[in-house]
A and B are shown apart, each in its own frame.
Chain A
Amino acid sequence: MSWEAVARKDFQDAVRSRWLWVLSALSILVFAGAAVGRLYVGGGNQQEAAALLRGFLFYLKQGTAIVIPLTALVVTYAAITRERESGTIKLLLSLPHSRDDVVLGKFLGRSAVVTLPVLIGFVVALLALLPAASGLDIFVYVQFALLTALLGVVFVGIGVGVSAAANTNQQALVGAGGLFAIFWFLWNFFVTGVNRAATDLFGLSTPDQFRLRLALKILNPIQAYKTLVDSLFMSDLEARIRMFSMLFGMIPNQQAAQALGPELSPAFGDAVVLAAMLLWLALPLAVGIVWFREAEL
């Protein structure tokens, strides 16, 4: 298959950049930290050590939620525009690859570049963890690793999609940076704004307001990732309620608990949140593919 050849070449090329090695070292350092904490700080006490690990992962996600999307975008925003600016795209498209295959191949190659360091970091951490770990810890740990890798892949899709749709590196940089700012800084303003407008227009009840706000929050891939990680440690309902809390979950929101409980609607279950993340994987990539078909090189 044509996209396989593109993906392999792209990975071969990217693997020789210093980026991959810096990222690997960084992620081993960070993720193995959890394991080291588990082994040495936790001491012999099983209960205390397990709590420590969970606590560590719990706060680690604040870091991964910003670092993983950021690195994924940095690694991908120029994936196609740089080839267009340097002229390597002419060499690539002189060979029998369709433009769709170029975008898909880039997505796969860069996905490997971003997820590999994350997974290597987790495997190293897991090896350190194994001797003292309980089955549950390892299961939670593996799920956390996979969710984090998925977050990386989602942002690789966003970055490659932006790069395919853009005409220049600069456009791609603005696009990727803009999306990151929207997801990280502006999304809650958007949620509040839409909620206020909808409440004014339709006179929504308080529970309906919370449902609307929750639906909009879930549509943010970073918030979706965080609440899915929370779900590893608590019920779906508690994890969703936490999305309304302040200061990294230290100040819970009682109103949200009342509005969304006592039984969480299946519309806000983990499966739906996961689907929202996958939507962000598919949508930008699809837009990028369609735009790139029309591009003049």
Chain B
Amino acid sequence: MAAIELDGVTKRFGDVTAVEELDLTVPEGEVFGFLGPNGAGKSTTINVLLDFVRPTAGRVEVLGMDPQRESVAVRKRTGVLPEGFSTYDRLTGREHVEFAIESKGADADPDAVLERVGLAGDGDRKAGGYSKGMAQRLALGMALVGDPDLLILDEPSSGLDPAGAKEMRDIVREEAERGATVFFSSHVLGQVEAVCDSVGILRDGKLVARDSIEGLREAVGTGATLEITAEGVTDDDLGAVRALDGVDAASTDGATVTVQCDSEAKTAVIGALEDAGVAVEDFSTRESSLEDLFLAYTEGEAPSDAATDAAGEEVDA
């Protein structure tokens, strides 16, 4: 059974479309990284899963239940680290954890929870005096209470220093080993790469890639990043490039064109640009990293249909 299933989910706020026709399945037991730049619609998607907002269209299932009609039942089995939350300033850290334990009807030791998230010794302090990172740890601790079947973590590393981000990843791994499904969002690939079984990349409310980390690495392994220096290139000139076989994505800042493609496609790319009337001054290639691929998906103009199709095939495979 799938832990999370989104089927044609669209969410509009007035005339702004935050999420459009999103299809996404996260199998049980998987650690899924939900990637995308800020404002791509990651938090809106998560808010739909938690029934904080209601989808304009589409079907949603979390742990086999409708999050709108069976909201409490869903949240009984889900641990959540929400985005844009704040703590109760006048309550101590321990009181927060105790409230989570009482709310979930769990049997846990608040001090053990605090220790696990690195807040041992801070439990008696009021949460109003916590730093952003400490508040983040506290909310993670509250999410972990009751050994949930599903963990939904929205930008869990924000506010954490590198050491804290590593502890966060360790906890995600421990939870996954216990058998929990972990769904977490980030705008930084590095935090996802090390722990995720698979990722989805969201951009402008649409899923532009859905693949396992290995699948992505393979795609990158055969690929290259082509950097072409050419004056006055507009995005319109790139249409022909994107239409080429073997090209994943192409973007430009006006002075350079960056293309993710198979190594064999290089000549065709240059040719296509020249055919479009672009004067190519210089070019260089290097082997693509995962980061390049991620940036290609999330920065610059929208990726080509070819890239989306390729990602789609990976999902089916």
Contact = CB atoms under 8 A, between A and B. Distances in A.
Contacts, number: 75
Interface in B7-57: 47, 50, 52-54
Contacts of A97: 72, 75, 103
Interface residues of B, number: 31
Nearest to B53: A296
A93 B52 contact: yes
Interface in A8-66: 8-9, 12-13, 16-17
A1 to B, nearest CB: 10
B142 A91 contact: yes
Interface in A252-297: 296-297
Contacts of A93: 50, 52, 75
Contacts of B143: 94
Contacts of A5: 99, 102-103
A93 B72 CA distance: 9
B82 interface: yes
Given A95-B104, A96-B103, A98-B71, A13 B52 contact: no
Given A9-B99, A297-B53, A94 B82 contact: yes
Given A9-B99, A297-B52, A297-B53, A96 B76 contact: yes
A196 interface: no
A222 to B, nearest CB: 31
B91 interface: yes
A87 B86 contact: yes
B87 to A, nearest CB: 7
Contacts of B85: 87-88, 90-91, 94
A297 B80 CA distance: 15
A95 B103 contact: yes
B75 A96 contact: yes
A84 to B, nearest CB: 10
Nearest to A296: B53
Contact of A13 (B82, B86, B91): B91
A97 B83 CA distance: 18
A94 B90 contact: no
B100 interface: yes
Interface in B96-137: 96, 99-100, 102-104
Interface of B: 47, 50, 52-54, 71-73, 75-76, 80-88, 90-91, 95-96, 99-100, 102-104, 139, 142-143
Interface of A: 2, 5, 8-9, 12-13, 16-17, 86-88, 90-91, 93-98, 296-297
